[in-house]
Every structure is written in C-alpha cells, then in structure tokens.
Amino acid sequence: MTIQESIQIYLKWKESTRIIAHKRYKIRLDQFANFITSQGKRQLEEINGDDVIAYHTEMKKSYSLTTVAYSASILKNFFWFWHGRNKISFSPKEIEVTKFKSPIKELVSKKGFDAINKLLKNDNRSDLQRKLAINLLWDTGMRVSELTSLKLADIKEPSANGLRTAIIGTRKTLDNDQVVWGEETNEILNCYLGIRLCIDTAHDELLINPKTGKPFTDRSIQRWVKELKNKVGIEKNITPHSFRHSKAHKILDHGGDVTHVAAILRHSSPESSFKYLRLNESKHLKTAGKYLGEALLGNENAINSDKRLLEQNTLLLQLLKIQQLNNSIVLN
C-alpha cells in the first residue's frame, strides 16, 4: 500500500469521527508524504520511526515547536491506526510529542479593538464584512474555524429584545452551543445580512467572498486581523485566536470564574478554562487571597490585641501616677 493510499483511507475514517479536524490532518499528512517520497520511499510498510524523527528534524528548520508538536501528534495517531491493522513494522510509541513551554498569548485590548472598529466603515461592503468578523470574535470569543463555518441557517430570528443569537457546532466535541453578542454587533450583522442575501452563491456560509462566491477561509480572517492591526499601529502579534483569549480574561476581570469561561468559550476540557485563571494575574491574586484571609485576619487580630493591651497598660500607668500625686497632696 502506498503512503498516499494509506492517508486517503485514514482520512476517510477520520472524517467520520472528526468533521473539521480531518482537514487539518490532511495538510500535515500530505507534507509528511512529500518528505517520505523525496527520501525514496513510497510504501507504507517501508516507513519506520527514524523516518518520522528525520521529518520532524527537518520541520524544526522552518516551523515553530507548536507546529512540530502538532504534527507529531497527528502522525502518532495515524500510525496507531495502521499499527492496529498490522500494516507497519514499528511501534508508534517511538514517536514522542515534543514538550515545550508555550509563549504567553497576546491579548486584544479594548483600545485596540475600538481603533480597528473605528477604521472600518459600515457603508463599504469589504469593511462591513471585516467589521462583522472582528466584532463577532470580540463579543463571543468563538474560534476562527467556528466563525468561517457559521451558516445563515445557524443564525436565529431576533428575540423580544431585538437581538439575534446563533447555534454553532463545537469543533472538538461536535456539540451544538449557543453564542450571543451585543447590540452593536447585532446592528452590524443586520446591516450585513441585507448585502449577504443578495450575493449569488450556492454556499450557505455567513462570510462569503462576493468575487468568487465561496466562503472565506480561516487564512482569510487571519490576514484581515494582521492587516488591520498593522493599519492601526498595534505592535503586538495578535491573531484571531487572541480575541478568544481576551474574552476569557474579560470574563474573569468582570467577576466571572472558570465555570463561566468554560460555558461561554465552550471548552471541552476543564484544563483549558483553568489555564486562563493562572494567566489572569488580578483574578488569580484575588482568588488566592481569599484563602489567605484567615491568616491575615489572625495577624490583624493579634496586632489589635497587642494595641488594646498597650492602651490598657498606659491607662493603668496614668491612674497610678494620679493616685500617687493625690497621696502626696494628702500627706502635705
């Protein structure tokens, strides 16, 4: 079996369990296949653990450790699949996912968001699309893949207060969750829907390229964010995912806890929510301080007790002096 045939079979199986993830798997597996082919190997059975190590060594010259680790995870799953079907001669245990310390993610400040919003005009179709995307990311903290996958059918009719909401499929769990946004984003959406419904396309996605009639991709949104942040002079390296991190910190800064973060950002793992608590300094200090309260209170009580004792002793000393003075007057 050729490596390309094995990839096609694996991706077909993967698509049945992970609708979105299999697309990302295909990119990394095709890159691996190109590398293996360049090394003179075409059959799945010819590949061994050393080939995987050589591939990731080559990757490190051009990609971040995050991407290399992600590739290792994909290849490990891929080879476990074929190991279970007795098609490879080595154990996928040989593939180790590199452990590294992730850099702290950049956040989008309210000032930066307002600057981008001010730059984009509602009477320009291109600007309006970008403005809607930026505001949805800011208000909901949704993943960029969820934004580009958002369909017209997912958007609900306005409620009693005039606001719309949407039902989106969570990428990892495939669960359907509701997302909500504010009045300003709602107004932008209503304005854009009038234009969107006039675009001649067979696709149902919300964000459509009017020139091609095809949905905008994750890469499109990433380019938008990069272009806009440069135009308004934001020096930080923000990405669409930075809005998601910013949403988590906003929740914590406004008195929310990790359960609120998990609910609003639709985390499949509690660990994803707790990491924001560790990174949010003010919330972390406040939470930790609650459990230092007794010790602090005990110290404060001890200090107050010492103060009262000192005051009592001072008062007694003064009374003794007065009594001695009175005694001396009587004797004279």
DSSP 162-192: S--EEEEE-TTT--EEEEE--HHHHHHHHHH
Same domain, 138 and 279: yes
DSSP symbol at 162: S
Same domain, 134 and 243: yes
Same domain, 281 and 169: yes
290 token code pair? 């609650």
The verdict on residue 103 lying in a domain is no
Same domain, 235 and 277: yes
Same domain, 280 and 306: no
The enclosing H or E element of 166 equals strand 165-169
Same domain, 248 and 309: no
pLDDT at 269: 73
Same domain, 216 and 311: no
Question: In this structure, are residues 280 and 253 in contact, taking their beta carbons and an 8 Å threshold?
Answer: yes
CA distance 138 to 125: 20
Same domain, 272 and 137: yes
pLDDT at 332: 46
Could you tell me the residue range of the domain that residue 184 belongs to?
110-285
Show Cβ contacts of residue 176 under 8 Å, excluding neighbours closer than 6 positions.
Answer: 167, 168, 169, 170
Same domain, 182 and 308: no
The verdict on residue 161 lying in a domain is yes
The verdict on residue 303 lying in a domain is yes
> How many structural domains are present in the chain?
3
pLDDT at 331: 44
CA distance 247 to 180: 13
Same domain, 332 and 236: no
The enclosing H or E element of 216 equals none
The whole-angstrom distance between residue 209's C-alpha and the CA centroid of its chain comes to 26
pLDDT at 98: 74
The CATH number of the domain holding residue 48 is: 1.10.150
CA distance 110 to 297: 37
pLDDT at 259: 85
The verdict on residue 102 lying in a domain is no
Q: Which of 29, 62, 94 is the last residue of a domain?
A: 94
Using left for φ > 0, alpha for ψ between -120 and 50, and beta otherwise, residue 137 falls in: alpha
Same domain, 114 and 250: yes
Ranges of residues in the chain with a pLDDT under 50 are: 296-297, 329-332
What distance, in Å, lies between the first and last C-alpha atoms of the chain?
123
The verdict on residue 100 lying in a domain is no
Q: Which of 94, 126, 152 is the last residue of a domain?
A: 94
Show Cβ contacts of residue 10 under 8 Å, excluding neighbours closer than 6 positions.
Answer: 25, 29, 78, 81, 82
The verdict on residue 99 lying in a domain is no
CA distance 248 to 256: 9
Write a three-state SS string for 278-297: HHCHHHHHHHHHHCCHHHHH
CA distance 83 to 224: 42
Same domain, 263 and 302: no
**Burial classification of residue 298, based on how many CB atoms lie within 10 Å of its CB (0-12 exposed, 13-18 middle, 19 or more buried):** exposed
CA distance 189 to 126: 14
The verdict on residue 10 lying in a domain is yes
The CATH number of the domain holding residue 247 is: 1.10.443.10
pLDDT at 268: 74
Phi/psi at 101 (5° precision): -90, 115
Strand partners, 166: 155, 179
The verdict on residue 155 lying in a domain is yes
